[in-house]
Structure 1
Amino acid sequence: MLIITLILGIVYYIPALVANGSAPFVRRGTPIDFGKKLSDNRRLLGDGKTFEGLLLALTFGSTVGVIIAKFLGEEWIVIAFWESLAAMLGDMLGAFIKRRLGMERGQRAPLLDQLDFFLASTLALLILGVKLQVIQVISVGLIVIGLHMFTNYVAFRLKIKSVPW
Structure 2
Amino acid sequence: MELFDVDVFEVMVVAVWAMLPAYVPNNIAVLTGGGAPIDGGRTWNGRRLLGNGKTWRGTIAGIAAGAVLAWGLNAVRQGVTDALNVSLPAFPIAVVLAMPAGAMLGDMAASFLKRRTGRARGASFPGVDQLDFVVMALLFTSLSAPEWTLDTFTLPVLTVVVLVTPLLHLITNVIAYVLGLKNEPW
Unaligned runs of at least 5 residues, structure 2: 1-6, 78-88
Question: Which residue of 7, 21, 26 maps to 2:13?
Answer: 7
Question: Which residue of 37, 50, 54 maps to 1:49?
Answer: 54
Structure number with higher strand proportion: 2
Amino acid of the structure 2 residue aligned with 1:115: L
Q: Which residue of 2 aligns with 1:30?
A: 36
Question: Which residue of 59, 80, 83 maps to 2:96?
Answer: 80
How far 1:85 sits from its partner (Å)? 0.3
| RMSD of aligned Cα (Å) | 1.4
Check if 1:114 corresponds to 2:119: no
Q: Which residue of 1 aligns with 2:116?
A: 100
TM-score scaled by length of structure 2: 0.83
The whole-number CA distance in structure 1 between the counterparts of 2:102 and 2:50 is 16
The whole-number CA distance in structure 2 between the counterparts of 1:126 and 1:16 is 13
Question: Which residue of 21, 24, 43 maps to 1:18?
Answer: 24
Asked if 2 retains the 8 angstrom alpha-carbon contact of 1:65 and 1:78, the reply is no
The whole-number CA distance in structure 2 between the counterparts of 1:53 and 1:146 is 23
Mark the CA change 1:74 to 1:8 in structure 2 (over 3 Å): closer, same or farther: closer
Check if 1:162 corresponds to 2:183: yes
Check if 1:66 corresponds to 2:74: no
Asked if 2 retains the 8 angstrom alpha-carbon contact of 1:16 and 1:80, the reply is no
Higher alpha-carbon Rg: 2
Check if 1:124 corresponds to 2:140: yes
- Which segment is superposed worse, 127-136 or 13-22? 127-136
How far 1:94 sits from its partner (Å)? 0.3
Check if 1:142 corresponds to 2:163: yes
Identity across the alignment (%): 32
How far 1:81 sits from its partner (Å)? 1.6
SS in 2 for 1:31: coil
Unaligned runs of at least 5 residues, structure 1: none
The whole-number CA distance in structure 1 between the counterparts of 2:21 and 2:31 is 16
Aligned residues: 163
How far 1:22 sits from its partner (Å)? 1.1
The whole-number CA distance in structure 2 between the counterparts of 1:11 and 1:28 is 29
Amino acid of the structure 1 residue aligned with 2:72: I
The whole-number CA distance in structure 1 between the counterparts of 2:15 and 2:167 is 16
SS in 1 for 2:69: helix
How far 1:2 sits from its partner (Å)? 3.7
Asked if 2 retains the 8 angstrom alpha-carbon contact of 1:31 and 1:50, the reply is yes
